Amino acid sequence: MAVPQDLDDTGKYLTDDQFADKFFANPQQQLWYQFGAQSHAGKVRENNEDHFVVVERLRVSKLLLTNLDRGAGALGEETTYAAVVADGMGGERFGEFASRLALETMFDLAEKATSWVMKFTDFEAQQIRQRVKAYVQGIQSALQEYTRADPALVGMGTTWTSALCLGPDVLVVHLGDSRAYTLRQEELRQVTHDETVAQAFIDAGKEPQSVQQFRHLLLNNFGGDKQDVSAQIHHLRLAEGDRLLLCTDGLTDMLMDDEISQILQTVEDVQQAADTLVERALDAGGKDNVTVIVVSAG
């Protein structure tokens, strides 16, 4: 499977002469997406600080009046999907509130957006980073506004890992240590890069087993006192038969990648695959909230 490119590499600055060529998307393979999702508080925590959403967005054009022979009817329909997992932190109800607030703010911002991204083109790629930055800053501002209003909320925050499915193109946005994986045939690959102190040590050459005590210390997330936060953005191209997994660390702390891969390969129904992943995490100890979204491309 090709290594996904960051959006810095997917589009170049367009001159006026190039604009028309890049504005219209070329015909491309259509994919149908199926989703399964599950979330559980686990066996240790009393409340579930994870939240998830899967959203379908439609754009439909209908011909109302004409003297053309084709008559009235639908001209075409486009469908995109967005899936998000968010793992809250801050203790008791505050982590739950933070992850819920992040998702609700996303809905509010989407309602105010002046345009939607429905196709992926080089032209759109130039705007994706600016759009993501606007959403990220809007969510961060919402969390900080609540913190300023109520000092008891200081320290709350949430991870964020989302996937926007635009035909075969998928844009993954990531802050923190909730992960995105792809499965193509028998190859499971982690798309996102954990933003934790432990991973930073590992990147610097430390042995993973020597830094386990730092694996839950985040270097990037929504919340906290930083005015500006940034997100990883990954561009994937999926094909028929591929699967995409979004999950919180309640899954990856309990299951090795090999077991996750085996479940995604052998459990055909996407909802059953999501249920099985959560069940296996609980059987392994269920030490944290666990949330998964399984996406199947066909």
Task: Please calculate the CA angle 50-4-38 and round it to the nearest 5 degrees.
Answer: 25
Beta-carbon contacts of residue 192 (< 8 Å; ≥ 6 apart): 161, 172, 174, 178, 179, 180, 232, 234
- What pLDDT score does 138 carry? 97
Is the Cα torsion angle 124, 127, 133, 135 positive or negative in sign? negative
- What pLDDT score does 63 carry? 82
What b/e sequence results for 43-63 when a residue is b if at least 16 CB atoms lie within 10 Å of its CB, and e otherwise?
A: eebeebbbbbbbbeeeeeeee
pLDDT < 70: residue spans in the chain: 1-29, 70-74, 91-92, 122-124
Rounded Cα gap, residues 96 and 89, in angstroms: 7
Q: What is the pLDDT of residues 55-75, one digit of tens each?
A: 999 988 888 888 887 655 557
- What pLDDT score does 120 carry? 82
Beta-carbon contacts of residue 199 (< 8 Å; ≥ 6 apart): 177, 193, 215
What CATH architecture does domain 5-14+21-62+73-297 belong to? 4-Layer Sandwich (3.60)
Q: How many CB atoms lie within 10 A of CB 152?
A: 9
Residue 243: closest CA among 175, 173, 191: 191
- What pLDDT score does 77 carry? 80
Beta bridge partners of 57: 80
This prediction's pTM: 0.89
Structure tokens at 276: 């099985």
